[in-house]
Structure 1
C-alpha cells in the first residue's frame, strides 16, 4: 500500500511541510487568499527536485502572464460585462489551444495563463479599481507557494532528476542493444518482440521529459543536453534500422532460405559485437567494428549483380541496413561515454520537431471558450452573486483535461471527486475548524487528510483520484486569518463549482467525445500526409523534422494500442507506422540522390515519385498498394537497364526499401 512506502511518506511530509510553511507566511503577510499558497504547493509538488523547479518556473510565467491579461481586460472592457466575458472566454480558449499544441513542459505555462486571467478578473468585475492589487496579490500567493515547495524539495533529502535520467538512459541503451542483437539473431518473434519494441518507443518519450527536467537540478548535464538529444536520435535511428533488418530477414527466409543461412554467421558475429562492445576499450571496439564492416562489404553483392537479380537486391539492402545499425550503435556508445564522463558534447543537435494536430487543439479551445461563456451568460442573466466562481471553474475544468483523448470523461470524474472534496471540506468547516485556536492546532487538524492524499499523488496511478480531492478540499476551505462560517456562502460556492465543472463536461462532450480511435486515425493520416509531402519534394520537411514527428507519433500510438487493438486493423497500427517511417526515410534518400542521376533516369524517378505522392495523398484514384508495388518494380527494372553510376545504385536500394515497406503500410479505403 502506498501509505507504507517510505519514499511516498517522505514526499508527503515534504509537500505537507512546504504547504504549511506557505500558509503560515501567507497568514503573516495578511494575503487575501492564503489557501491559494497552500494549494499551489500541492500543484507543483513532484517527487524529483528538477520536476518541481521546471513546473514551478512555468507556473510563475503562466500566472504573471494571466494576471497581466486580466489587468488589461478589466481596464479596457470594465464598462461592458458582455464584451469582457467574451474577451476572457476567448483568451481561455486560445491558451487551451496553445496548451494542446505545445507538447512539452512549456504547455503548463499556457494553461496557467488561460484560467489565471479568469481567477483574477471574474471576482472583481464589480470593483475594477482593485484589479492591480488583486493581480499582485494573486502573483504573491502563487509565487510564495512555489518558493516554499522549491526550497523544501532542494533542502530536505533532495531527489535529483539527473541520476534518474542517466539510470533510465543506461537501461534504455541496454534494451536497445539487446533488442538489436535479438533482431540480428532472429530471436524477436511474436508478442514478446512487439512488447520489447513498444517499450523502447515509450521509454524514448519518457527520457525526453526527464532530460528537460534534469537541466533544472543537475548543472553538469546542461552542457550535455545537446549530446543527450543526439544520443536519443541515434538510438531511434538504430531502432528503425533494426525494424528494416527484421523485415528483410523474414523476406529472405521466405524467398531464398539458402542465402539466409549463408548470412546467419555474419549476423551472429554482428550481434556478438553489439553485446560485447559496451564495456570494451574504444580503440579495440573501433578495430573490431572496422573488421566487421569490411566483412559485410565483402559479402554484399556488387552493383552489377543487384541490377540483374532481385535476391541480390534484397541481400544488398540487408547489408546496408546492418552496416548502418553497427555505425549507429558505435556512435551511440561514444556519445554515452562522453556524457557519463561529464564532458561537454560538441554538437548543435536541434530540438526534435514534434507532431502537432491543430484540429483537436482548436476543438479543445472552443470547448473552453463555450464553457466559460455558458457560465458568464448565466451569471449575467441571473445576477447570481457566485456566478463568477462557476465561470472560473468552467475554465479550470476545460483546461486541465484538454490534452486527453476523452477529456469529458476525465472532467466528469473530476466533478464527482470535487463533490466528495466539498463534503470533506464542509465537515472541516462545521466540526473541526471551530475548535482550532492556533496555527499548530491547524497543522495537526489538517494532517490526517492532507498527508495521505499527498502520499497518494506520489504514485502515478493514484493521481487521478487523489489530486482532485486534495486541491478541491484546499480551495473550498478558503483558510483565512480569522475564522468565520457562513453556510449560505459555503452552499453557494459548492453549487457554483458544480455548475462550472458541469459546463466544462457539457462543452467537452459536444466537441471532444471522439476518443482514442479518432486520435489514432488522425495520427495515421498525418503519417500519410507527410509521406505525400516527401514524395512531392516539399523542402519544408527535412529529415530532422520528419523523424522527430514520426517518433513522436509512434510514442503517441503505443499507449492507445490497447484501446483500438480490438479492431482488425488496429492490431497492426504500430507495424504500419514503423513501415511509414521506413518509407519516409527512403523517400528522403531518393530526394537527395535524384539530382545526381542522368536526365532520363531522373525523369523516370520523378514519375514514380508522383505515383507515390498520389497514393499517400489519396489522389491516385483506385490505385491499390499492389499497383504501386508493380509500378516500383517497373521503375527498378528500367533504372537497372540504364547507366546511372553510384547514385543509381543508391536509388535502386531506396526504391526497393519502399517496395518492401509497402507490404505492411496500406492506404485506408
Structure 2
C-alpha cells in the first residue's frame, strides 16, 4: 500500500477540523444529537470543492424533503403499523427509483429523501406527537454539518475539480493513442486492446458524474459546455476506431501489400496521436495536412468497382472521421485547461447532437422494488418482535439497500457495510467505555479523536478504500452518541448498537436472495436492448429523433463494455457489441440513401434492411446471438453490385450532377461495406468483385 499523499492528509485534516467544529457548535447549541452534525461532515466531504458543494446542496434538499415526509406520514398511519410499513417502503422505493434514473449529482437528493424519511419516522413511532421536533432537530443537525463541511472545504486550501478532470482526460488521451496504434496496425483483438478499451470506457463513464459537479466549482458555463463536448467526442472515438479496424483487416487479408502512401499516412496518424498535447487553440497544420493526404488518396470511380478499392475508400473515409474527432478532442482539452479560446467543430454528422441516455427501466424498477421489499419485511419483523431498538435495524437496512441499489450485484457491498459497521461498534465501545471517561473537556476530546479519525480520513479519497473508511468514520461518530454530559450504559449501548449490524445482515441476506444475478445478466439485457434498436434502425418504422437514438445507443455501449469485461463472456464480446452498433448506424445510412437512388437500387437496399431486421429479430426471439444467414450476405453483395452499376449509369446519363452521383454512390458503398464487414468479419470478397490485379 502506498502511503497517503500530502493532498490526502490535507483533506483528512480539513474534514476532521470541520467535524470537530460541527460537534462543538452542536454541543453549544444543545442540539439533541450533535454527533449527527459530526457524521454529516464525513458523509458530504470530498477532496474537491465542487463535489462537496453539490453533495451538500442535494443532501440538504433531500434531508428536508425526507423530514417533511416523516411529519406528513407518521401521525395518520402510526396506529396502523403494517400499513405504515407499506407507506415507508413505497416512499423509499419510489424516491430510490427516481435517484437511480438520474446519473447526475442531483440523484443524491432523491436518495437522501428516500431513506431520510424512515431515519426520522421510525424512531418517532413510540412518540408520534414529537415527530415534528425530531424532524426539525435532525434537519438542523444535518444542515450544521453541511455548512461546516462546505465552509471549511471552500476556505482552507480549496481543491478545484477542473484540474482532476483534465488529469483524467490526459490519461484517456494516452490510452487513446495506444488504441489508435493497435487499431491502425490491423489488430482488433487481444488482451492489450481489450484492457485499453476497458480503461477508455471507464474514464468516459466516470466523467459523467464529475461533469455534473463541475458547475459548483466556480467554473464558467461555457467551459462546462466545452467539457461536455469533449466527453461526447471521447465517446465517439471508440466506435469510430472500431469501424476503422475492419476495413484495415480486410485490406490486409486481400494478400496485396498496402499502397506505400497509405502505410505512411497510417504511421503519421499514429505519430500525431502520440504527439504532445497543444498548449493553445492555434489550428494544427498537421491535421489539415492529414486530411489533404486522405482526400488525395481517394480511389476514383473506376477503382470502386474492385473490392480493394471499396475497402480503401471505406478506410480513408473512417480515417478522416478519426482525424476530425481527434483534432476536436485536442482543441477542447486546450480550451478547458486554459479556460479560454474558441472552437469550431471539425467532426460534423447529421446524427450528432442527441442527449438521450439509456436506462434499463425494468431492471431499475426491480432494484427499487427489491429495496422497498427489504424495508417492508424488516419493518414487519420489527413490529412482530416488539423490539424497541429494532428501528435502528430497519433504518440501516434501508440505507444499505438504497446505497447499492444501482449495482448489478449489491450483496458484496452490503456485506462490506456490515463488516465495517461491526468494526465501528467495537471502536465506539472502546472509546465510550475506556477512553471517554478520562476526558474532561472538549480540547481533550479533540486530541483523543484526532489520530484515528485523521488516519481513517486520509484513505477516504482513494476509491478502493473510500466506502470502508467513510463508513467507519460515520458509524463510529454515530454510535458514540456524544452528548453534553458523559452518560454511558453498557447494556443500553449493546442493545442499541447491535440493531444496526442486525439490520445490515438482514439486508445482505435479502439482496443475496432477491438479486442473485450479476453483471452477466445485466449485460445480456443490455445486448438484447441493443438488438431492439438495430431492428428499429433497419425497419420502416419512423424514428422520432435519430440523433437521440444515436446518443442512446452510444450510451448503452459504454454500459455494456465494463459488464462484458467483468464477466469474461466469450459469446458476447466487446467487439461484437461494437459491430452491432455499426450495423445499426449503417442501416440508418441506408434508410436515408435508398430513396435517392434508382428503383432497382432501392429494392436491393430494402432487401438488405429486411434481412438485417429479420436476423436480429431471430436473435431476440431466442435471446442469444444466432449465426448470420448466408441470405443476408447474398443480399448485401447484390446491393453492392447494383449500386456500382447505378453509379456508372448515372455518370454516363448525366441525370444529376456528377459530383452528387459520385457522393451518393460512395456513401451507399461505405454503408454496405460497413454492414458486410460487421456481420461477416473475415469473409471473402463478394463474388465477382475480386481484388484488382
> Could you tell me the TM-score, scaled by structure 1's length?
0.90
Aligned partner of residue 223 in structure 1, secondary structure: helix
**What pairs up with 1:126-525 in 2 under 5 angstroms?**
126-177=126-177, 179-180=179-180, 183-184=183-184, 190-220=190-220, 222-259=221-258, 263-272=262-271, 278-279=277-278, 285-286=284-285, 289-306=287-304, 308-343=305-340, 352-525=355-528
Aligned pair count reads 660
* 1:525-544 equivalences in 2 (<5 Å): 525-536=528-539, 539-540=542-543, 542-544=545-547
How many angstroms does 1:226 deviate by?
A: 1.7
2:645 counterpart residue number: 641
Task: State the Cα deviation string for residues 397-423 of structure 1 (Å, max 9, x = none).
Answer: 211111222211221222122122212
Q: Which moved more, 1:538-547 or 1:624-633?
A: 538-547
Q: How far did residue 150 of structure 1 move?
A: 1.1
**Is the 8 Å Cα contact of residues 120 and 138 (structure 2) preserved in structure 1?**
yes
Contact between 2:354 and 2:549, CA under 8 Å: does it hold in 1? no
* Aligned-partner Cα distance in 1 for 2:453–2:265: 61
Does structure 1 conserve the Cα–Cα contact (< 8 Å) formed by 2:394 and 2:503? yes
Does residue 578 of structure 2 align to residue 578 of structure 1?
A: yes
Q: Distance in 1 between matches of 2:174 and 2:379?
A: 55
Q: 1:58 maps to which residue?
A: 58
Residue 658 of structure 1 pairs with residue 675 of structure 2:
yes
Counterpart in the other structure of 2:654: none
TM superposition shift of 1:505: 1.6
Per-residue CA deviations over 1:566-600 (Å, capped at 9, x if unaligned) read x5336xx2212222232232223223323433444
Please state whether the residue corresponding to 1:437 is helix, strand or coil. coil
Q: CA deviation at 1:164?
A: 1.8
Give, in whole Å, the separation in 1 of the partners of 2:353 and 2:309: 38
Judging changes above 3 Å, is the alpha-carbon distance between structure 1 residues 538 and 159 closer, same or farther for their aligned structure 2 residues? farther
Question: 2: distance between equivalents of 1:71 and 1:92?
Answer: 15
Aligned-partner Cα distance in 2 for 1:44–1:665: 53
The structure carrying a bigger helix percent of its residues is 1
Structure 1 alignment gaps of length 5 or more: none
Q: 2:636 aligns with which of 632, 644, 649?
A: 632
- Cα pair distance change 1:599/1:550, threshold 3 Å: same
Closer/same/farther in 2, CA of residues 187 and 313 from structure 1, 3 Å limit: closer
Q: Give the 3 Å change call, closer, same or farther, for CA 282–394 of structure 1 in structure 2.
A: closer
Q: Report deviation, 1:549.
A: 3.6
The alpha-carbon distance between structure 1 residues 502 and 191, as it changes in their structure 2 partners (threshold 3 A), is closer
Shift of 1:243: 2.1
Per-residue displacement from partner, 1:246-288 (whole Å, max 9, x unpaired)?
A: 22111111114234556212333444455569549977735x5
Distance across 2 between alignment mates of 1:467 and 1:410: 13
Give how far 1:438 is off.
1.6
Counterpart for residue 613 of structure 1: 613
Root-mean-square deviation over aligned CA pairs: 3.0
**Are the structure 2 counterparts of residues 170 and 459 from structure 1 closer, same or farther at C-alpha, using a change threshold of 3 Å?**
closer
Measured in 2, the distance between the counterparts of 1:503 and 1:279 equals 55
- Displacement after TM superposition at 1:543 (Å): 4.9
* Paired residues of 2:299 and 2:312 also in contact (CA < 8 A): yes
The answer as to whether partners of 1:516 and 1:563 remain within 8 angstroms in 2 is: yes
State which drifts further: 624-633 or 433-442: 624-633
Q: 1:388-444 deviations in whole A, cap 9, x for unaligned?
A: 222212211211111222211221222122122212212222222222222112212
Stretch deviating more after TM superposition (530-539 or 50-59): 530-539
Following TM superposition, by how much is the alpha carbon of 1:507 offset from its aligned partner in structure 2, in angstroms? Answer: 2.1
